[in-house]
Amino acid sequence: MSEKLAKLTLGGETYDFPVLSGTVGPDVIDIRSLYSKTGLFTYDPGFTSTAACDSAITYIDGDKGELLYRGYPIDQLAEKSSYLEVCYLLLYGELPTAAELEDFGNRVTRHTMVHEQMHYFYRGFRRDAHPMAIVTGVVGAMAAFYHDSTDINDPVQREIASIRMIAKLPTIAAMAYKYSVGQPFVYPRNDLDYASNFLHMCFAVPAEEYKVDPVIAKAMDRIFTLHADHEQNASTSTVRLSGSSDANPFACIAAGVACLWGPAHGGANEAALNMLRQIGSVDRIPEFIARAKDKEDPFRLMGFGHRVYKNYDPRAAVMQESAREVLSLLGVENNPTLQVAQELEKIALEDQYFVDRKLYPNVDFYSGIILDAIGFPTSMFTAIFAVSRTVGWIAQWKEMIGDPQKKIGRPRQLYNGATNRDYVDIRQR
């Protein structure tokens, strides 16, 4: 029983609610008994003050600009770890030993190919379909191809479904890309690491050999690592809400992919690069800053601002460094988009509007520049985010399924519509 209590006084009556503490972060008022005690609901659209679950996976301190995966700071993981090691950490809670990592790598590798029938499934899409539309459809369709891992009550099936998605998402996203450019699908290569295999599936063609540059592979691996999880964001909450009805894991992750596509969420990386290109040159920055501040204009600085970070997004700092490394490797340090991005960041960080609202660059501000330099079209950016985030969605979904307190998610509402009225015959309206 919690020691701390929150008191709510309503119409002369006082009600007590327990205050629960986590290991770090704000305490929460446990209002589960609020309705039964008072007949009232709370109102919090956008969940700005509501903890929807109890989790031990990822922690963000928005004021400090800190992001921890299972307690480990993101900058340490981005520098010293690898994406597959981070996947293991997120899924199982601890960093693997060398033997555990090798075993995990082998398990993932054995599942990288997709069912051959899926190739025909792709052919039903238009060639100009957005890769996110294809990825949403194909991930949902996995339930039709892998029936033997849809029983959420069987831990073995849950594990197989998880590994299948982590292994196949790069293949699915790369196939969406190949389909859009009219090139043959490239089968996965299990002798390559996770990031190199993805790059190979995207950029190799049967006519010639494609060698993955280790600097590019490292940058790709970092992009995957930095996007791997981000606690209860919109797509993760979508996955949890979908999973709360006991829907199969492929359906839940497809729901997460669909939510991620929005420009306020994962779609921001595509929107940010398009915006930087639209600005085009440093002298046009003031015009766009003015538009971002104008409340009559719907324009926002894409890649800026965050619901939780009220400080520099720690992922943006790593991403900026990576962007410089990749551009210098490719000999395009003077890339005009990077120059616009750096100058825009400088101006915005000194502008009172952005300072007052604590608006800083987020992860998407620089990721697009790297992906563009690697050779990806903007339409692939969010699909790459989906590949990276799959492990986070799965870790959160598994945590929820294993939680004895799990309940179907069912928010309540403040109803503001018409009250009970009688049906009127069409001739009398």
What residues are annotated to the active site? 306, 364
**How far apart are CB 202 and ligand CMC at their closest, in Å?**
22
Beta strands in 21-176 (DSSP E): 28-29, 58-61, 66-69, 72-73
Q: Measured at CB, which residue is nearest to ligand CMC?
A: 305
Residue matched to tokens 């001739």:
427
Stretch touching ligand CMC by CB under 6 A, among 140-148, 217-225, 251-259, 357-365: 357-365
Q: How far apart are CA 26 and CA 341, in angstroms?
A: 34
- State both tokens at 427: 């001739």
Vertex 45 angle, CA 39 and 51, to 5°: 80
Query: Is 277 among the residues that bind ligand CMC (CB under 6 A)?
Result: no
Nearer to ligand CMC, 169 or 268 (CB): 268
**How far apart are CB 368 and ligand CMC at their closest, in Å?**
11
Nearer to ligand CMC, 366 or 397 (CB): 366
Q: How far apart are CA 135 and CA 175, in angstroms?
A: 9
Q: How far apart are CA 25 and CA 76, in angstroms?
A: 21
**How far apart are CB 180 and ligand CMC at their closest, in Å?**
23
Query: Is 265 among the residues that bind ligand CMC (CB under 6 A)?
Result: yes
Work out which of 243, 256, 303, 314 binds ligand CMC, going by CB under 6 A. Answer: 303
Query: Is 310 among the residues that bind ligand CMC (CB under 6 A)?
Result: no
Work out which of 136, 149, 335, 362 binds ligand CMC, going by CB under 6 A. Answer: 362
Work out which of 305, 314, 368, 392 binds ligand CMC, going by CB under 6 A. Answer: 305
Nearer to ligand CMC, 217 or 302 (CB): 302
Amino acid at 175: M
Stretch touching ligand CMC by CB under 6 A, among 134-142, 194-202, 241-249, 355-363: 355-363
Query: Is 163 among the residues that bind ligand CMC (CB under 6 A)?
Result: no
Query: Is 306 among the residues that bind ligand CMC (CB under 6 A)?
Result: yes
Q: How far apart are CA 269 and CA 369, in angstroms?
A: 9
Burial 158-174 (b: 16+ CB within 10 A, else e): bebbbbbbbbbbbbbbb
Query: Is 391 among the residues that bind ligand CMC (CB under 6 A)?
Result: no
Query: Is 307 among the residues that bind ligand CMC (CB under 6 A)?
Result: yes
Q: Phi then psi for 352, rounded to 5 degrees?
A: -55, -40
Vertex 318 angle, CA 313 and 323, to 5°: 120
**How far apart are CB 308 and ligand CMC at their closest, in Å?**
8
Given a contact cutoff of 8 angstroms between Cβ atoms, the answer to whether 348 and 293 are in contact is no
Work out which of 302, 327, 373, 384 binds ligand CMC, going by CB under 6 A. Answer: 302
**How far apart are CB 367 and ligand CMC at their closest, in Å?**
9
Work out which of 107, 189, 300, 310 binds ligand CMC, going by CB under 6 A. Answer: 300
Q: Which of these, 140, 363, 139, 329, lies nearest to 233 by C-alpha position?
A: 363
**How far apart are CB 314 and ligand CMC at their closest, in Å?**
12
Query: Is 266 among the residues that bind ligand CMC (CB under 6 A)?
Result: yes
Nearer to ligand CMC, 193 or 345 (CB): 345
Vertex 54 angle, CA 53 and 59, to 5°: 105
Residues 6+ apart with CB under 8 A from 68: 58, 59, 60, 74
Query: Is 140 among the residues that bind ligand CMC (CB under 6 A)?
Result: no
Question: Per-residue string for binding with ligand CMC, 218-237, x by CB under 6 A?
Answer: ---------------x----
Instruction: Return the percent helix, strand and coil in the chain, to nearest 5.
Output: 55, 5, 40
**Is residue 325 within a helix (H) or strand (E), and if so which, with residue range?**
helix 314-329
Query: Is 355 among the residues that bind ligand CMC (CB under 6 A)?
Result: no
Query: Is 288 among the residues that bind ligand CMC (CB under 6 A)?
Result: no
Q: How far apart are CA 255 and CA 321, in angstroms?
A: 32
Nearer to ligand CMC, 193 or 270 (CB): 270
Q: Phi then psi for 10, rounded to 5 degrees?
A: -140, 120
Work out which of 32, 115, 346, 357 binds ligand CMC, going by CB under 6 A. Answer: 357
**Is residue 158 within a helix (H) or strand (E), and if so which, with residue range?**
helix 155-181
Backbone angle region of 359, left / alpha / beta, with phi > 0 → left and psi within -120 to 50 → alpha: beta
Query: Is 197 among the residues that bind ligand CMC (CB under 6 A)?
Result: no
Work out which of 167, 201, 216, 292 binds ligand CMC, going by CB under 6 A. Answer: 292
Nearer to ligand CMC, 189 or 291 (CB): 291
Nearer to ligand CMC, 35 or 47 (CB): 47
Q: Which chain residues interact with ligand CMC by CB under 6 A?
A: 233, 264-266, 268, 292, 300-307, 357, 359, 362-364
